[in-house]
Amino acid sequence: MEEIKTLPLSKNIHPDVNILKYIYNKSLEDPESFWRKVAEDLFWYEKNGPVFEPIDSPPYCYWFPYWKTNLSYNTLDRHIESWRKNKVAYYWEGENYEKKVLTYYDLYKEVNRFAYVLKNLGVKKGDRITIYMPVIPELPISMLACTRIGAIHSVVFSGFASYALAERINDCQSKIVITVDGTFRRGKLINTKKIVDEALNYTKSVEKVLVIKRADIEVEMMEDRDYWYDELKPSSYPYVEPERIEGIHPSFILYTSGTTGKPKGITHGTGGYMVWAYFTQKAVFDINDKDIFWCTADIGWITGHTYAVYGPLLAGATLFIYEGAPDYPRPDRWWEMIEAYGITILYTSPTAIRMHMKYGEEWIKCHDISSLRLLGSVGEPINPEVWNWYYKYVGQERCPIVDTWWQTETGGIMISPQPGLALVPLKAGSATLPLPGVDADVFTEDGKSAKPNEKGYLVIKRPWPGCLIGIWNNHERLKSQYYSKFPNVYYTGDFAIKDKDGYFWLLGRADEVLKVAGHRIGTAELEAAFLSHPAVAEAAVIGKSDPIKMQVPVAFVVLRPGHIPSPQLRIELINHIKETIGPIATPQSIYFVNKLPKTRSGKIMRRILLAVIEERDTGDVTTLEDETSVEEAKRAYEELKRMIEEIP
């Protein structure tokens, strides 16, 4: 555990752990006043009643339940009325170096236009709208148009395939899909609209499809269902009055993988989410008016929602967003853009850093990236080796790194260095301390606080403003998933340790959820996708360690009678996964087996599967599975090894 003390960022930053502790304690002692004060930076139509109201079962609470506000108003109108009116909100670059610049005033006008079109299509407060498109300015524009009129957006990452898209449309019964004709990735054309058309074969709720011109290609348009946005867009800029939205009205749904075959529609509210996005943006990124902030995550994930749209815009910051691949046309694309735009804060994932590390620092050295002043990491644990490379070559031993731990469910950053409040000494590989309001702890299996350096489960012991308000369509699952492993606390599903200084070290998932290049992929969801292929009788998916992506899915498949293992079938199954879930879930390998190793109670012995493919010897295996004797585990291991060697 190497310690690196970094320099303070600006004069008003206190490199003092005591200041942070003081603020932290205040937030827990009197949360009502603490969050009221933060909320007062933002605009509310009404501020009636308490800041939060506990509800006893499950132990979470309603935030700003009787207050009224509007996310779109706070991200746009509030700035239009200030000197920020003509400040740049977004710099955008496409893969082929196309460029767009939108000031806050431009963005405001485009959002009003978009909201006007949605209203004309009959969209009302509470309606669900699915948005499926790459990172182009119309993505944040359409999200902000939804929140302006109280419609609930559900952005589906554009790398998902038609079946996954259909499942997400059906779950929340979207009335409208907003998409593009096509897009480019690594120079290759992707027919986005075609994927939507396929998905719509499996859905009934969608009444209209709005198509934005991006690739300028010919697409099929169904009469009375599909409309070009350009043809509905008014030439003037009509003002659309923002709806007055209750604090607990859902603002968006974002689907994420869990431990069952069906993705969960994580639902966020309005008041609490807004306060959390705004507060964390300031506390962690210490954002100011000179910054150009770049969060490299796709807006289709929570990181992009909170730190490429809502957080920075609430704070009145200038953002940079990029549509394409990080190494296209050359491995220095990122460094080239950082230099060109003078980006000051870079927020990315360990997977991306490892990829650049593999290309080598020579690609950085041919650019002047001295504009950077702060670096961030998110999505997976960042190992000290990668942390140090990031610190040395990207941060040039000058920029502090904020390793930010959080989840789709938490709405925003929970554990991280907080240079916007006070910068504590950093330790390479630790996310350091919880943010104000976050009562984090590490529990042992029996629900007691673990001792320093003892591994356990990360839990949050009281509600915080950014907490999810529900799982769409499935309130029961909210309880069973998050509030039942330990009574009265939020269970994160992550392993962690807390060291003697109270610093948190995140150690990865404790459940059957994989982290592939920072994306969450449920093994159960992948297994369900395998089972939907007619040749498959049984499937087990596990995550194999990978030097770049952290984990990659590997599948073990038992075929139905009459089907014979072959290289062609393997390719067919891989394509089946690509076409149902999407390329991000592509298994690295598929092993055909006659049977899966199982415990007496029928549970798949996943750790045996892992030991075999990671080629660990049997010595390791014996202690791996509970419920199973040493002999049984060894036998299962040997048998599996033989099978995967014998079957092509």
CB of 266 to ligand WT7, least distance (A): 8
Residues near ligand WT7 (CB under 6 A), total: 22
Check residue 305 for interaction with ligand WT7 (CB under 6 A).
no
CB closer to ligand WT7 out of 157 and 341: 157
**The binder of ligand WT7 chosen from 378, 497, 536, 554 (CB under 6 A):** 378
CB of 621 to ligand WT7, least distance (A): 25
25, burial (CB in 10 Å: exposed 0-12, middle 13-18, buried 19+): exposed
Q: Do the beta carbons of residue 313 and residue 76 sit within 8 Å?
A: yes
CB closer to ligand WT7 out of 247 and 429: 429
Q: How far apart are alpha carbons 177 and 170 in whole angstroms? A: 12
Q: How far apart are alpha carbons 90 and 97 in whole angstroms? A: 15
Structure tokens at 535: 């040749």
Q: Do the beta carbons of residue 74 and residue 42 sit within 8 Å?
A: yes
CB of 545 to ligand WT7, least distance (A): 15
Residue type, 69: T
Q: How far apart are alpha carbons 268 and 248 in whole angstroms? A: 8
CB closer to ligand WT7 out of 154 and 407: 407
- Using the contact rule CB under 6 A, the part of the chain among 50-58, 318-326, 372-380, 535-543 near ligand WT7 is 372-380
Residues 190-229, interacting with ligand WT7 (CB under 6 A) = none
221, burial (CB in 10 Å: exposed 0-12, middle 13-18, buried 19+): middle
94 C-beta neighbours (distance < 10 Å), count: 17
CB closer to ligand WT7 out of 58 and 543: 543
Check residue 299 for interaction with ligand WT7 (CB under 6 A).
no
CB closer to ligand WT7 out of 378 and 526: 378
Residue type, 645: E
Check residue 303 for interaction with ligand WT7 (CB under 6 A).
yes
**The binder of ligand WT7 chosen from 31, 182, 379, 434 (CB under 6 A):** 379
Residues 493-532, interacting with ligand WT7 (CB under 6 A) = 493-494, 506, 508-509, 515, 520
CB closer to ligand WT7 out of 399 and 640: 399
- Using the contact rule CB under 6 A, the part of the chain among 374-382, 393-401, 603-611, 634-642 near ligand WT7 is 374-382
CB closer to ligand WT7 out of 182 and 300: 300
Check residue 256 for interaction with ligand WT7 (CB under 6 A).
yes
Q: How far apart are alpha carbons 589 and 583 in whole angstroms? A: 14
User: What x/- string results for residues 425 through 454 when contact with ligand WT7 is judged by CB under 6 A?
Assistant: ------x-----------------------
CB of 42 to ligand WT7, least distance (A): 23
Check residue 607 for interaction with ligand WT7 (CB under 6 A).
no
Q: How far apart are alpha carbons 153 and 144 in whole angstroms? A: 9
Structure tokens at 492: 């994160």
User: What x/- string results for residues 380 through 419 when contact with ligand WT7 is judged by CB under 6 A?
Assistant: xx---------------------xxxxxx-----------
161, burial (CB in 10 Å: exposed 0-12, middle 13-18, buried 19+): buried
CB closer to ligand WT7 out of 138 and 494: 494
> Could you tell me what percentage of the chain is helix, strand and coil, using 3-state DSSP and rounding each to the nearest 5?
35, 25, 40
Q: How far apart are alpha carbons 212 and 132 in whole angstroms? A: 11
CB closer to ligand WT7 out of 344 and 404: 404
What sign has the CA pseudo-torsion 369, 371, 377, 378? negative
CB of 336 to ligand WT7, least distance (A): 26
Check residue 254 for interaction with ligand WT7 (CB under 6 A).
no
CB of 16 to ligand WT7, least distance (A): 23
CB closer to ligand WT7 out of 439 and 639: 439
CB of 264 to ligand WT7, least distance (A): 10
632, burial (CB in 10 Å: exposed 0-12, middle 13-18, buried 19+): middle
- Radius of gyration of the chain, Cα coordinates, nearest whole angstrom: 24
CB of 515 to ligand WT7, least distance (A): 6
Chain CA centroid to CA 623, Å: 34
CB closer to ligand WT7 out of 138 and 409: 409
Q: Do the beta carbons of residue 208 and residue 130 sit within 8 Å?
A: no
CB closer to ligand WT7 out of 136 and 496: 496
CB of 563 to ligand WT7, least distance (A): 34
What sign has the CA pseudo-torsion 627, 631, 634, 640? negative
Strand 67-69: give its sheet, edge to edge.
46-47, 67-69, 245-246
For β-strands 513-516 and 504-509, DSSP reports them as: unpaired
Looking from the CA of 494 toward its CB, the CA atoms found within 13 Å total 26
- Using the contact rule CB under 6 A, the part of the chain among 169-177, 355-363, 375-383, 617-625 near ligand WT7 is 375-383
CB neighbour burial string for 301-329, b if at least 16 within 10 angstroms, e if fewer: bbbbbbbbbbbbbbbbbbbbbbbbebbee
Residues 574-603, interacting with ligand WT7 (CB under 6 A) = none
Residues that bind ligand WT7 (CB under 6 A): 256, 302-303, 378-381, 403-408, 431, 492-494, 506, 508-509, 515, 520
